[in-house]
Chain A
């Protein structure tokens, strides 16, 4: 009685931990991701932007109208240069004018003003908001008047933070925000004025506030690209690739973790239920001998399972909620995680459902075993298995099931893929899949009868696999990971393959050990012999335990490896020294003085990045004159103002994706060009681009395509050449420095005094936003990974512990025969150590394989950590042995007679 209560508790806990991990990870990442998605979009202030060099044609305006009709909101941002002056002083300065509709702009993020008023209030018919550098230069204050384009405006506020500052033009001159109506009234937009128009688009959000999905963004982008052939259409993901990449990686990782949580929970449940029902074999045999039918007995245990699954699920949901609530408490104070971690009813429902379903699924095989329990079992208890043929039995079982497993798997995979592509985002995929699987489950047994295998077990197997696939699909269909189906795929492929291979390997290793044992038996030291022989204890699911252990190790290790790689990449992204203040238009004669000045500034914490720029234009591409060149989504006008720079090596934040960089003293004209620009110009490695600057022409060969993370100054120049090619051209410089945000205005004053013509663009706030978001991602990832790993270890440990009931009697007999506790522990240690080592080797091997594949897809470097792997192997062995000891501890301490009585 006592022991059986323990077992129930154990099943309950396995379910609970699995469900807790599931709801914790899911609830968490769902709400967290929403806020991340909003943050990522704030850098563009929209989902998509289309930048045009000229006014749209009437046809294009009509098309834009059609887009708006689909629920997409659009607002136009016009940026232009203008002169502005104080009515008090006659000297005008060049300003970067930005005209917006304050009722709509920005779609995401906020324009922060000082004093803290709303943008709509600040931009009245006769008022503007300006950068504080304008006040500095013109000697004005908030409330003073400013003359722009002949009109007088009142300065209502200064701009503290402009969310899309990084994605707008880096024009020289202080910022002046103005409403579109006011700009129109100034008459500055006369034809011929070099204004650039940016159309910002926002997709209709989902009812619960999530922004439009990436698929919808992609679709709209394609539409816009077709509609506006000479516009540069970018989506929010391209503004700060580092951030969105981090987001993608985080998403993939989170969905990976929730799948792992699910499967580990299921493994725990399976092992626990198996142990539980084994223990009940006697009872079942007695009931049968009293005339109970299999179906009656199965009903009883099914009900029991259902209750256990439900109770465990509720417990798990509570625990998962607790974890979510506790999470903000363990974070550093500075990382201010959005606090809308409300317990989502949906996550709870999914958790409960998954808990009950996995419990049921994994209880199915042992439940079906009830059918084959013979009443005679009560008479001869030891004959419950086929005896020493156990390994062979497992092996043939396994081989017999292999084709069904594969068929079910392929059917599942294909149906998921097809349906997901056809009807993305609908529950249809699920239903269809369920139908397929049930059909497979019904069909399988029929085939199996033909094959004279145990039909029910094969059906059960198919059902488990299918059920898992359904749950996995359900999980990755929901908000968690609409954009990361590949993780699910890689993971399911990995899971099934590993399961097959693990079962095969386990059976193989066990058979090999058995062979070895049979041929050396009496020559082995007795503890070793006994320990090894124990792997073949009748009813001891060594192969199953091995597979479970190996799978657990694999999953935990995969999560750890992927997490580690992603986090270390994110840390690079969130490096604290990224430039957050940009300097535009530094004259070549000023550069040395500028270097000194920057060095002397106390607020600057990193080496300043200074980029030489030579103004140029593109004359020909591959010999085709620019006027007739075939461009893709690029305004021909832009070819007339390009910036060239030089560098001996790929600059910070820039990666070569094709071709190779030149040697430092390269004298031939070569050029490295961003991949995005290469697509627009239709060039590739080996093409030539003819640049013209002043009177000289440079026929440069494209030798490398690059991809920049958008965080460094160099990414502002699309064309990088060897120094020699540019040595004769006039140069101006742009710069980027990292300044302590509190000291930006101090720097601004110092620069203004020394170099009044240099424009300072302060994006400290935006960069800080990106940095915090990325740091938040890393914290969440690490926390959740830690939690999944912990849950996994607990579940594995309890799977091992679950085998202790089978050991009870043996301990007693050994004690009766005079064995000390140390001796018994020794025998068990050998058994556990072998299990742990074999499972560890296989699990770790596959973890590395899967991590490598996943990381490759996520564009993250994978490193083989040999020490880590060895450590994990040792850890697995130690964990198995220690858990085995701990689980057997009570058994070892017991008086033999008590145990004999409990039989």
Chain B
């Protein structure tokens, strides 16, 4: 459950103040799949960053599952992020010195306060994104699509209630993009997570149950629509491409 309340973000740039987000209010119930759309520069990434606690708002508040996160101290925030939010970046952002398996395991190691072994979970996730035989490979040894699949597995490893994704398919070709998206939706459904996805692609947004459109830092439309079935997948896309 995400609650956004009077969210503002402005940046002082020399003498000028740029208002990036100018007062947003909305809430996302548990399990919903929201697509955020809007022209370039409309504030989508900024919003997503605030939702994940990667930045502090100028005014207003964000609360995740009842915890107001916006003004927490940095280290507390890190804990909330680790346990509550999975993040998928446009440019994957894997740790280059760690293997695929270690990358997926990382959130577990950073956050787990239980002794539960994260290994089976990490292995299972990697297998489910089709990388069961690439676990010991380093990010540089994987193609972009494969790296993004590792990133997906990493985002889901701790069963986060919320997953945020900023143009996760933006760097990928259509086939790979579709594959990643399909995996994302699958995981979202099987894990029952709340998913917020930033995208430019209207087709992609069609799969969402709700669509929020930003313009100049304001919500200009927020409508729910029946979700479309998942994208059909050509057989070839399951095979690693472009390595």
Interface residues of A (CB under 8 A from B): 380-383, 385, 387-388, 521-522, 526, 529-530, 533-538, 809-810, 812-823, 893, 895-898, 900, 903
CB distance B102 to A521 under 8 Å? yes
> Is A817 a contact partner of B102 (Cβ separation < 8 A)?
no
Could you say which residues of chain A place their CB within 8 Å of the CB of B107?
Answer: 817-818
Q: Find out whether the CB atom of B96 lies under 8 angstroms from the CB atom of A815.
A: no
Task: Indicate if the CB atoms of A897 and B55 lie closer than 8 Å.
Answer: yes
Of B82, B83, B141, the contact of A388 (CB 8 Å cutoff): B141
Residue in A388, A535, A821, A895 whose CB lies within 8 Å of B138: A388
Q: Are B54 and A895 in contact (CB under 8 A)?
A: yes
- In the docked arrangement, what's the CA distance between A809 and B140, Å? 16
Known contacts A537-B96, A818-B82, A896 near B55 by CB under 8 Å: yes
Set of chain A residues within 8 Å of B102, measured between Cβ atoms: 521-522, 529-530, 533
Q: How far is the CA of A522 from the CA of B119 in the complex (A)?
A: 9
The contact of A820 among B79, B89, B98, by CB within 8 Å, is B79
- A819 in contact with B56 given A534-B97, A893-B74 (CB within 8 Å): no
Take A813-B93, A818-B81, A895-B54 as given contacts and tell me if A538 and B140 are in contact as well, using a CB distance cutoff of 8 Å.
yes
Chain B window 100-131, contacts with chain A (Cβ cutoff 8 Å), 1 for yes, 0 for no: 01100111011100000001000000000000
**Which of A529, A534, A817 is within 8 Å of B81, CB to CB?**
A817
Q: Which residues of A contact B223 (CB under 8 A)?
A: none
CA distance A820 to B81 in the complex (A): 10
- B contact residues around A819 at 8 Å (CB): 78, 82, 110
Give the chain A neighbours of B110 by CB distance below 8 A. 526, 814, 817-819, 823
B238 within 8 A of A: no
Taking the nearest CB of chain B, how far is it from the CB of A496, in angstroms?
32
Whether A816 contacts B96 in the complex (CB less than 8 A), given A383-B140, A387-B140, A526-B109, comes out as no
B95 at the interface (CB under 8 A from A): yes
The smallest beta-carbon distance between A374 and chain B, in angstroms, is: 14
Q: Which of A383, A385, A388, A816 has the most CB of B within 10 A?
A: A816
Bound: A818/B138 CA distance, A: 22
Rounded to whole angstroms, the CA-CA distance of A534 and B154 in the bound complex is: 19
- On whether the beta carbons of B54 and A896 are closer than 8 Å, the reply is yes
Interface of A is mostly: helix
In the complex, are the beta carbons of A822 and B75 less than 8 A apart? yes
> CA A813 – CA B88 in complex, angstroms?
10
A/B interface sample: 16 pairs, CB < 8 A: A388-B138, A521-B102, A526-B105, A526-B106, A529-B102, A537-B96, A815-B81, A816-B81, A817-B87, A817-B110, A817-B154, A818-B83, A821-B75, A896-B55, A897-B46, A898-B55
Q: Which residues of A contact B43 (CB under 8 A)?
A: none
Docked CA distance A557–B206 (Å)? 68
Q: Dominant SS at the B interface?
A: helix
> Closest Cβ of chain B: how far from A349's Cβ, in Å?
43
A818 touches B111 (CB 8 A): yes
Chain A residue at smallest Cβ distance from B93: A813
Given the complex of chains A and B, what is the CA–CA distance between A387 and B93 in angstroms? 16
Chain B residues with CB under 8 A of A815: 54, 78, 81
Closest beta carbon of chain B to A21's beta carbon, Å: 35
- Chain A residues within an 8 Å CB radius of B95: 530, 810, 813-814
* Chain B residues whose CB sits within 8 angstroms of the CB of A522 once the complex forms: 101-102, 119
Residues of A within 8 A of B106 (CB): 526, 530, 814, 817
Report the Cα distance A898→B107, complex, angstroms.
Answer: 22
- State which of B54, B79, B144 has its C-beta within 8 Å of the C-beta of A816: B54
**B136 CB to closest chain A CB, in angstroms?**
9
Starting from the known contacts A388-B141, A812-B93, A900-B49, 13 additional A-B residue pairs (CB-CB under 8 Å) come to A526-B109, A530-B97, A530-B98, A536-B97, A809-B93, A816-B54, A817-B81, A818-B78, A818-B83, A821-B75, A893-B74, A896-B49, A897-B55
**Residues in chain A near residue B80, CB distance under 8 A:** 818
**Any chain A CB within 8 A of the CB of B52?**
yes
Bound-complex Cα distance A533 to B139 (A): 13
Contacts of A895 in B (CB 8 A): 54-56
Q: Which 9 A-B pairs have the closest CB atoms?
A: A818-B82, A526-B109, A897-B55, A897-B49, A387-B140, A533-B97, A896-B54, A897-B54, A820-B75
- Cβ of A537: which chain B residues have Cβ within 8 Å of it? 96-97
Contact A818 B79 (CB under 8 A): yes
| Contact (Cβ within 8 A) B141 A387 | yes
- Per-position binary interface string of chain B over residues 127-162, scored 1 when its CB falls under 8 Å from any chain A CB and 0 otherwise: 000000000001111001000000000100000000
In the complex, chain B residues whose CB is within 8 Å of the CB of A817 = 81-82, 87, 106-107, 110-111, 154
State A815–B102 Cα separation when bound (angstroms).
16
Once the chains are docked, how many angstroms separate the CA of A626 from the CA of B83?
A: 102
- List residues of chain B with CB within 8 A of the CB of A521: 99, 102
B98 near A533: Cβ-Cβ < 8 Å: yes
Compute how far the CA of A813 lies from the CA of B56 in the bound complex, rounded to whole angstroms. 17
Determine if A382 and B75 form an interchain contact, defined as CB atoms under 8 angstroms apart.
no
Tell me, in angstroms, the Cα distance from A534 to B97 when the chains sit together.
6
Residues on B with beta carbons closer than 8 Å to the beta carbon of A385: 140
A813 to B82, CA, bound (A): 11
A535 to B97, CA, bound (A): 8
- When chains A and B are docked, how far (Å) is the Cα of A903 from the Cα of B110? 25
B36-49 to A contact mask, C-beta < 8 Å, 1/0? 00000000001001
Do the beta carbons of B96 and A382 come within 8 Å of each other? yes
- Pick from B96, B111, B141 the residue with the most CB of A within 10 Å: B96
Residues of B within 8 Å of A810, CB to CB, are 95
The closest CB in chain B to the CB of A896 belongs to: B54
- For B154, the chain A residues whose CB sits under 8 A away are 817
Contacts of A538 in B (CB 8 A): 96-97, 140
